[in-house]
Amino acid sequence: MSGAAERPWLSCQVEILAPGRALVCPCGEIDIASLSILESALSEAFAAGAEQVIVDLRQVGFLDSEGVKCLLGTWSRLGTRPPRLVVVAPTSCFAYRVLRLLGLTDVVPVVETPEEALAILRVAQ
């Protein structure tokens, strides 16, 4: 096996949108092998003072139970009321189907666009 085949295929960008608010954009596959990359991105957002986080899953092609567990942990860490975590996962994307199947869409706000996520966080502020 080559080294390239062994590396997890995931990248994450973190953008500070405003003081206390961050956008985390993973791209690729979130599973046990790549989970640390997502966790590092979330830690970076927290270190920058984020109290509200948007996780944009539109570019995620695979999401396993460890990724869902990470999202639930983030939701719990940020506090549940008012919403401080909003997930962007259009109904047409793989991640949405996983979140819906596991009931996460009944717990964490899941929206179609980052603009919708920002609107929820602005109201919650």
22-79: per-residue pLDDT in tens? 999 999 999 999 999 999 999 999 999 999 999 999 999 999 999 999 999 999 888 8
Q: CA 30, CA 40: separation in Å to the nearest integer?
A: 13
Classify residue 1: in a domain, yes or no. no
Classify residue 37: in a domain, yes or no. yes
Our CA angle for 113, 114, 119, nearest 5°, is 100
Residue 39's Cβ-count burial label (10 Å; 0-12, 13-18, 19+) is middle
Classify residue 2: in a domain, yes or no. no
Query: Which pTM does this prediction carry?
Result: 0.90
- Per-residue pLDDT for 7 more than 70? no
Classify residue 96: in a domain, yes or no. yes
Question: Parallel, antiparallel, or unpaired for β 52-56 and 59-63?
Answer: unpaired
Classify residue 35: in a domain, yes or no. yes
Classify residue 3: in a domain, yes or no. no
Q: CA dist 9 to 26, 29, 38, 83, Å?
A: 10, 6, 11, 30
Q: CA 112, CA 98: separation in Å to the nearest integer?
A: 15
Q: Which domain holds residue 76?
A: 9-124
Residue 86 maps to which CATH number? Answer: 3.30.750.24
Stronger pLDDT, 101 or 82, i.e. the higher one: 101
- Report the 10 Å Cβ neighbour count for 116: 15
Our CA angle for 55, 92, 65, nearest 5°, is 55
Q: CA 111, CA 56: separation in Å to the nearest integer?
A: 9
Classify residue 33: in a domain, yes or no. yes
- Report the 10 Å Cβ neighbour count for 52: 25
Count of domains forming the chain: 1
Classify residue 4: in a domain, yes or no. no
